[in-house]
Amino acid sequence: MFNSPLKQYLLVTGNYWTFTVTDGALRMLVVLHFHQLGYSPLAIASLFLFYEFFGVVTNLCGGYLGARIGLNRTMNIGLGLQVAALAMLLVPSDTLSVAWVMLAQAISGIAKDLNKMSAKSAIKTLVPPDAQSKLFRWVALLTGSKNALKGVGFFIGSLLLTLWGFHSAILSLVAVLTMVWLFSLCCLTQELGKAKNKPKFSQIFSKSRAINQLSAARLFLFGARDVWFVIALPVYLTQQLQWDHYQVGSFLALWIIGYGVVQTLAPMIIATKQVPDGKSAFTWALALVSVPVFIALALYYQLPNDLSLIIGLLIFGALFAINSSLHSFLIVDYADRDAVSLDIGFYYMANASGRLIGTLLSGLVFEKFGLIACLLISSLFILIAALISRDLPRHNNQIKTKVT
């Protein structure tokens, strides 16, 4: 019933979507619950350090694993690990220590990146090599829908925390994801993404100059987002603007959903007759550089804080979504078809590294210097990403230029 490659891919995508909802809900539950308990921004950021760090490790090794055993198995391993991570948070509140939450988040980080790598890699195997426009649309749809659902997860997490409390909210997520995992174990069997020739472990590091450059740009791009969005922004909204948990969660959820919609529509927004290339990545990154600076200036000169943040976030979200969608297409386009999970795993290792750096700086810089400093660092990171993107291959260049 589910044996065709397309149906198998749809199952992978459905798993990825469900996982994304629970992951977004968990993120909001942890941030808001531990802020409610009186944890500092830096302490809250530390809860996610292992999540991001093990995302780096997983992406580096997960691509190798997917090429060896198939993307269906890496997907199921990821779902099972997320169930375990959620279940770890069901212990009594008085035993829910920082170390225990960090360990649960480490397992969740491994699970998340196994799922992401599996879904992003599978799409390369289903699109003909000469159908780059179609590949861009499919990647944009997958990436955009995922982020929209992450926004739904933010909303669900804040709502469940408000209505049911932390423990009951986690229990409901465990129940839903367990059912999805069991269904996946029964139905997800196709050997998607399994390399014809078993790769050696030394091949986890990319030999492609284009992939290395794109990965470096991705690191700074996502560090630029998370340095102010992950910890600093929700805590600022709670402390300075006196928003309650439901308001914070709902606002961030709507932002993420809109961000996902723009990602999905990126092929139409760019509206170019040619398939996007390195010049596109450079141009759109430059367009984003000034946005955090303008938000910081608005806050510094004490313009209405809530209005400045909302308008600034809308502009930042739209431009960042296009940048992210372009990057997601370029890595799938650049990746070697027979070892796609290796190249994509390496790329998302850089993505996770950027998130790790951004998360740490978000708590540390916000606690010491405030939101304005986080925004200025964000703009600097975007500028670095743009400068790196300037040298990415263009249509008249050879994409698979090897590192010498």
Q: What is the pLDDT of residue 288?
A: 96
Which tens digits make up the pLDDT trace of 42-98? 788 778 778 878 877 887 776 667 667 777 788 889 899 999 999 999 988 777 888
**Residue 190 covered by a domain:** yes
Q: Is the dihedral of CA 291, 296, 298, 301 positive or negative?
A: negative
- Tokens 């600097």 belong to 380
Give one DSSP letter per residue of 363-386, joined into a string. HHHHHHH-HHHHHHHHHHHHHHHH
Total domain count for the chain?
Answer: 1
Q: What region, left, alpha or beta, does residue 250 occupy, with left being phi > 0 and alpha being psi -120 to 50 degrees?
A: alpha
**Residue 18 covered by a domain:** yes
CATH of the domain at 11: 1.20.1250.20
Q: Helix count (H) and strand count (E) of the chain?
A: 14, 0
* Torsion angle of C-alpha atoms 157, 161, 166, 168, degrees rounded to 10: -90
Q: What is the pLDDT of residue 98?
A: 82
Distance (Å, rounded) from C-alpha 71 to C-alpha 362? 33
Distance (Å, rounded) from C-alpha 78 to C-alpha 112? 7
**Residue 267 covered by a domain:** yes
Distance (Å, rounded) from C-alpha 225 to C-alpha 358? 7
78: helix, strand or coil:
helix
Give one DSSP letter per residue of 154-204, joined into a string. HHHHHHHHHHT-HHHHHHHHHHHHHHHHHHHHHH----TT--SSPPPGGGG
Low-confidence ranges of the chain (pLDDT < 70): 1-6, 8-9, 62-64, 66-67, 120, 122-132, 188-207, 271-273, 337-341, 395-404
Q: What is the pLDDT of residue 130?
A: 67
Helix spans in 70-97 (H): 71-88
**Residue 107 covered by a domain:** yes
Domain span holding position 24:
5-389
End-to-end Cα separation, the chain, in angstroms:
48
Q: What is the pLDDT of residue 190?
A: 58
Q: What is the pLDDT of residue 9?
A: 66
**Residue 403 covered by a domain:** no
**Residue 327 covered by a domain:** yes
Nearest residue to 394 (alpha-carbon basis) of 257, 277, 299, 298: 277
**131: exposed, middle or buried (Cβ count in 10 Å: 0-12, 13-18, 19+):** exposed
Full-model pTM: 0.74
Q: What is the pLDDT of residue 374?
A: 95
Nearest residue to 331 (alpha-carbon basis) of 159, 187, 135, 169: 135
- Contact between 12 and 66 under an 8 Å Cβ cutoff? The reply is no
- In Å, what is the CA distance from 372 to each residue of 20, 26, 312? 30, 27, 13
**Residue 404 covered by a domain:** no
**Residue 321 covered by a domain:** yes
